[in-house]
Amino acid sequence: MSIEHPSFGRIDDDRVIIFDTTLRDGEQSPGFSMNLDEKLRMAKALEELGVDVIEAGFPVASPGDFESVQRIAETVKEAVVCGLARSGGKRDIEAAGEAIAPAKRRRIHNFISTSPLHMKYKLRMEPETVLDLIASGNQAARQFTDDVQWSAEDGSRTEPDFLCRCVEVAIKNGANTINIPDTVGFATPDELQAIFAMLRERVPGAENVVFSTHNHNDLGLAVANTAAALAGGARQIECTINGIGERAGNAALEEIVMAIRTRHDKLAFKNNIETPRLLSVSRMLANITSFDVQPNKAIVGRNAFAHESGIHQDGILKNAATYEIMTPESVGWTKTSLVLGKHSGRAAFRDKLKALGYDLDDVTVQQAFERFKILADQKKTVFDDDIRALVDDETRDHERIKFVSLELVSGSKHPAQATLELNVDSEVRQAQVTGNGPVDAAFRAIQEIFPHDATLALFSVAAVTEGTDAQARTTVRLEENGKLVDGQGADADTVVSAVRAYVHALNKLLVKRTRAEPEALSA
Ligand code: KIV
Ligand code: ZN
């Protein structure tokens, strides 16, 4: 059996569409907001990874969201670019339609809640009104594109007969993808499988649309539920890199894709993901958002292929399959960790950047290369992760305030003294400040150069690689009037890395101050 789809043509029954919502569901969760450049970098990386649909944002939410969806629509070449809209919001659908217009292939995703709880308390609407809005929302979306998706928010907690009616109305009014989210991560795998099987059996027209699954991870079941939905007949998976998303997040793209690849005997589906790119996209997102992946995270955590116990190491040496169900290389871990040395030239550095998934302009490559040379002088061995940390630091948005230099005098006998230079709005400013230790002195110097009311809410340092000459990667979280921003910095000098992180956070705060807060969104 196959389906004719406006964006994908004929879709065979064993084909699964990968719908990435890192830039929408992921980006709307606290601490994960990205600026325009960061979103564009992620969108390009997602396209190269092979995702079929990129949900680029919620255009009506703010002018910034609108612009980023529009720019992604201009930039992405093959993937379908999708904009979110509420079924009941006429302006929502117009904004989504306008924002995705430049895309070669485009989708509007409209949604409305269908569970008794959401209809009564959140929407304060009667079921009949919801049905009317499903009809009008999908009709309106079809005015802008033939590729229309409709979602039943809180679908997994919706009364089955009503869910069937909603889906029937959505299909009759132009939707060709039907998404049934487990919005609050409450469903169990058997329940989800049954919902999709029921819809396919009972709803007229179900045979002509793609069913989609969107699972939140509140009970840690998102990926298991996604696999179960496939068994029930879903053929589109909504997921995010590193599993980011509202609350406990969404199904992690890398996990479900590798589950399909590794357990093809049970999940016999095709998709277009180039799995060796998974690690670099995961790292890119972690660096952009300043949220490191937990070490034991499946596929992309740094322990995912590490073997500590003697028994395991012995088994691995005899035959890797004893304790590895997939090869590290299949998801992007490379064996060669020593990459470049201080004699490496620009061409080798550029090649390395390409291999790590970076596509940078000449000026940025040159700036990164200069920092690499300094690092290679300081550090005996330069690892892939060192390059990633350095380049991500270099490509961060340091618009108004830039780090210039730091001199420190510290030790156990006297208060530490920091002499800091920052470039603020193209003017180099200097401060010399003492403090209770080098970090305190350096942070006080930032405060003196650029006075601000934000307070330090989190400060953490981790080594990028092993050894005493490892680069430090620092995360700084600042809070101002309830707004939180995270910044990251990397450098072979721990205090310089901390200052870079602080400056990064401060720049983000400045952007946040000028940006209108998006409307409160559900899901
Ligand atoms: O979780 C959810 O219900 C959503 C919808 C908007 C698809 O994110
Ligand atoms: Zn969601």
Residue 189 CB–ligand 1 contact under 6 Å? no
Ligand 1 atom having least distance to the Cα of 21: 8
Burial class (CB in 10 A: 0-12, 13-18, 19+), 485: buried
Grouping H, G, I as helix, E, B as strand and the rest as coil, residue 374 is helix
Q: How confident is the model at residue 338 (pLDDT cuts 50, 70, 90)?
A: very low
Cβ pair 66, 60 in contact under 8 A: yes
Task: Provide the percentage of residues in the chain whose pLDDT is more than 70.
Answer: 96
Ligand 1 center to 212 CA (angstroms) = 11
**What region does 499 belong to: left with phi over 0, alpha with psi -120 to 50, or beta?**
alpha
Mark whether 481 and 386 lie in a shared domain. Answer: no
Residue 315 forms part of a structural domain: no
Q: Which pLDDT tens digit goes with each residue over 346-368?
A: 888 888 888 777 778 888 899 88
Residue 518: predicted pLDDT? 44
Q: How confident is the model at residue 142 (pLDDT cuts 50, 70, 90)?
A: very high
Mark whether 84 and 163 lie in a shared domain. Answer: yes
Q: Which pLDDT tens digit goes with each residue over 286-300?
A: 888 877 898 899 999
Residue 133 forms part of a structural domain: yes
Residue 196 CB–ligand 1 contact under 6 Å? no
Mark whether 375 and 495 lie in a shared domain. Answer: no
Ligand 1 atom having least distance to the Cα of 154: 3
Residue 317 forms part of a structural domain: no
Residue 516: predicted pLDDT? 46
Mark whether 68 and 209 lie in a shared domain. Answer: yes
Residue 262 forms part of a structural domain: yes
CATH number, position 173: 3.20.20.70
Residue 151 CB–ligand 1 contact under 6 Å? yes
Residue 108 forms part of a structural domain: yes
Ligand 1 center to 183 CA (angstroms) = 6
Domain extent for 31: 2-289
Mark whether 431 and 460 lie in a shared domain. Answer: yes
User: What's the token pair of residue 149?
Assistant: 């998706």
- As a whole number of Å, the CA-based R_g of the chain is 25
Residue 465: predicted pLDDT? 72
Q: Token pair 């006998």 is at which residue?
A: 413
User: What's the token pair of residue 351?
Assistant: 């090649």
Mark whether 406 and 500 lie in a shared domain. Answer: yes
Residue 321 forms part of a structural domain: no
Mark whether 93 and 211 lie in a shared domain. Answer: yes
Ligand 2 center to 112 CA (angstroms) = 12
Higher-scoring residue by pLDDT: 448, 345: 448
Q: Which pLDDT tens digit goes with each residue over 372-424?
A: 888 888 776 677 778 887 887 777 655 789 899 999 999 988 999 999 999 99
Domain ends where: 361, 394, 427? Answer: 394
Q: Which pairs count as long-range contacts for 197-205, CB under 8 Å and 24+ apart, including other chains?
A: 197/232, 197/233, 198/160, 198/164, 199/163, 199/164, 199/167, 199/233, 200/232, 200/233, 202/164, 203/164, 203/167, 203/168, 203/171, 204/168, 204/171, 205/168, 205/171, 205/172
Beta bridge partners of 84: 109
Beta strands 472-480 and 483-491 are: antiparallel
Mark whether 244 and 95 lie in a shared domain. Answer: yes
CATH number, position 440: 3.30.160.270
SS (H, E, C) 203-257: CCCHHHCEEEEEEECCCCCHHHHHHHHHHHCCCEEEEEHHHCCCCCCECEHHHHH
Domain ends where: 289, 310, 337? Answer: 289
Residue 183 CB–ligand 1 contact under 6 Å? yes
Residues whose CB is less than 8 angstroms from the CB of residue 479 and which lie 6 or more positions away in sequence, other chains included: 454, 455, 457
Mark whether 378 and 470 lie in a shared domain. Answer: no
pLDDT mean across residues, the chain: 91
User: What's the token pair of residue 429?
Assistant: 């400013």
Mark whether 406 and 390 lie in a shared domain. Answer: no
Beta strands 9-12 and 2-5 are: antiparallel
250 is in an annotated binding site: yes
- Residue among 107, 108, 111 whose CB has most ligand 1 atoms within 8 A, to mutate: 111
216 is in an annotated binding site: yes
Residue 241 forms part of a structural domain: yes
Quick one: how far is CA 47 from the chain centroid? 13
Residues whose CB is less than 8 angstroms from the CB of residue 1 and which lie 6 or more positions away in sequence, other chains included: 13, 207
Q: How confident is the model at residue 228 (pLDDT cuts 50, 70, 90)?
A: very high
Ligand 2 center to 204 CA (angstroms) = 26
Residue 232 forms part of a structural domain: yes
Residue 380: predicted pLDDT? 67
Report, in this order, helix, strand and coil percent for the chain, each rounded to 5: 45, 25, 35
Mark whether 383 and 446 lie in a shared domain. Answer: no
146 is in an annotated binding site: no
User: Total structural domains in the chain?
Assistant: 3
Task: Provide the percentage of residues in the chain whose pLDDT is more than 90.
Answer: 66
Mark whether 177 and 233 lie in a shared domain. Answer: yes
Residues whose CB is less than 8 angstroms from the CB of residue 485 and which lie 6 or more positions away in sequence, other chains included: 477, 478, 505, 508, 509, 512
Domain ends where: 394, 425, 452? Answer: 394
Residue 312: predicted pLDDT? 75
Separation in Å, CA 451 to CA 23, 391, 431: 33, 28, 12
Residue 489: predicted pLDDT? 84
Surrounding ion ligand 2 within 5 Å at CB are 25, 523
